[in-house]
Amino acid sequence: MPYGRRRIRTAVVGAVLAVAALAGCTGSPAPRTGAAASTGPTPTPTPTPTPVSPWDDSPASVAAVGDSVTRAFDACSLLADCPEASWATGTDPAVNSLALRLLGPGRVAENSWNLARSGARVAALPEQMGRAAARRPELVTVMIGANDACRPTPAGMTPVAEFRRSFEASLARLRKDAPKARVYVASVPDLRRLWDTGRANPLVRRVWELGVCGAMLADPEDLGAAAERRRTAVRDRVVAYNEVLAEVCARDERCRYDGGAVFGFRFDESLLSTWDWFHPSREGQARLAELAYRRITEK
């Protein structure tokens, strides 16, 4: 074969072999059928674990902190605490307190503690929380703030920033010694609605004139502009306190705010103490217990 033709033939063969080699490297292999096509069983997807909620609606112990409402002040007799009628830890079956509902009557006496104090403001809450934490409770109830708003005049109300600092310090104090305790936080009642409920009753007005929550309830028949501004200032402060309670509680996965249930509840005269027409009666305490139980056991 002449040299030129051999040279051309060699070049063509080389090109064909190169193309074949390239196809073998980059092309897809022919599909296989039957048993040879299987590379093993299809793996079962790993199920995504369901998050475990840190909330427990069946605690073995309950501690209560707060003010005179939790002490059931004036619920049974004049100017006296009546802790057996407390919405949180009371033993009175007619009230059917939160502790009675959660623990049962046989366990309330030894497994619940009412550490609230009549007249307490939020500044006293960290110390109360410290005493509660020492008991290692599984649930702590908090009801505070009415006394911070119920001063003789609006000028004496606790500033919102101070209220926030005290409440934050309270939860921090609890977490130091009882990190897994659940916390139920009740909203501050709507004091203006209380005024609207009782202002038309002459007997109620006479009692309020003795000095009950002057910032809101003084001169209950006065509908003038100044009186309205005073009442609005108190209500606005209560709303601000509740916003603080909600915000701080929301940052703690073991804390539940009541969503404004107590603030939105209308305490009519049948649910108020006939001694001061301000604190809840036994019937009013029972309604508070119901609101708390509903929120704590909510899924």
Question: What's the burial of 292, exposed, middle or buried (CB within 10 Å: 0-12/13-18/19+)?
Answer: buried
Q: What is the pLDDT of residues 57-87, one digit of tens each?
A: 899 999 999 999 999 999 999 999 999 999 9
Residue 20: inside a domain: no
pTM: 0.83
The angle that helices 125-134 and 160-177 make with each other, rounded to 10 degrees, is 10
Query: How confident is the model at residue 199, as a pLDDT?
Result: 96
CB 196 within 8 A of CB 267: no
Residue 229: inside a domain: yes
Residue 43: inside a domain: no
Amino acid (1-letter code) at residue 192:
R
Residue 34: inside a domain: no
Residue 25: inside a domain: no
Q: In which domain, by residue range, is 248 found?
A: 62-296
What residues form DSSP beta bridges with 6? none
Residue 230: inside a domain: yes
Query: How confident is the model at residue 56, as a pLDDT?
Result: 84
Domains in the chain, number: 1
Residue tagged 């969503």 (tokens): 259
**Distance from CA of residue 145 to its chain's centroid?**
15
Residue 85 is part of a domain; what is its CATH number? 3.40.50.1110
Residue 40: inside a domain: no
**Distance from CA of residue 223 to its chain's centroid?**
36
Residue 124: inside a domain: yes
111's torsion region: left (phi>0), alpha (psi -120 to 50) or beta?
A: alpha
